[in-house]
Amino acid sequence: MRPVRIVATLVFAATVGMLTLAAAPAGAAPATTLQVSPSSITAGDTVVVSGSLGPAPAGSECATGLTLVSDAFVHTHDFAGVPAIGAAVKPDGTFAVTTRIPRSKAAGTYPISGRCGGGNIGVSATLVVRAAPAPTTTPAPAAPAATAPPVTQPPVPGPADAGPVAQPATPTADHPADRWIIPGLVALGSGALAALVVWLLYRRQHLVSLGR
């Protein structure tokens, strides 16, 4: 009886295995994934958001692209008021997009989700953002302090600064005509006096002669 039980057990196991294989789908669809690399950055750096949606029916929105949504993204486009970026989906269902996180983004942990075909893709990723360092500014060189012009004291006059010594006035030479005026007058007076004396003597002698 033992061989019969062994054969029966083997037949049962084989039957169950065949039924299980027949019930399994011919090809299991790949799982939907979403990741961000690097997962921790400083504000101002770039990240790559990638993942897979699996093959989608031809003509559906998920077959060509999806929308990635996160408060960490630059607010150029948005979905329901939240910053959003678009990513193209390849025929095999994979996608990847590079974006720069704004330098002004506050430090924190930001979830990233995706949407296509009017619904959420069902998975999310997390990005840790560190605050960007404050820009260092080189102080401008200080302007030189205004200095008053040096006060110049007037020089104390000394012997060397007394100026030219005044020389005593020297009599200027008389004009040649002035040198002859007085002697001429004296000579003229003397001549006139001599003539008068001669005339008086002549008259006296003449009168004497008439009196005889």
Q: Is residue 89 part of a domain?
A: yes
Q: Is residue 10 part of a domain?
A: no
Cα separation, 62 vs 55, in Å, equals 9
Cα separation, 75 vs 131, in Å, equals 18
Q: Is residue 168 part of a domain?
A: no
Tell me: pLDDT of 113 over 50: yes
The answer, as to whether pTM is greater than 0.85, is no
Identify the CA nearest to 198 among candidates 206, 208, 209: 206
Q: Is residue 206 part of a domain?
A: no
Q: How many CA atoms lie within 13 A of 131 on its CB side?
A: 5
Q: Is residue 72 part of a domain?
A: yes
Per the structure, the complete domain to which residue 84 belongs is given by 33-130
Tell me: pLDDT of 160 over 60: no
The residue type found at 123 is V
How much is the pLDDT for 17? Answer: 47
Q: Is residue 67 part of a domain?
A: yes
Give the pLDDT mean for 86-103. Answer: 95
How much is the pLDDT for 19? Answer: 41
Q: Is residue 161 part of a domain?
A: no
Q: What CATH number has the domain bearing residue 48?
A: 2.60.40.1930
Residue 206, classified by CB atoms within 10 Å of its CB into exposed (0-12), middle (13-18) or buried (19+), is exposed
pLDDT tens-place string over residues 5-64: 554 555 455 554 444 444 444 445 568 999 999 999 999 999 999 999 977 777 788 889
Q: Is residue 145 part of a domain?
A: no
Domain count, the chain: 1
Q: 25-52 burial by CB neighbour count: b if 16+ within 10 A, else e? A: eeeeeeeeebbbeeeebebbeebebbbb
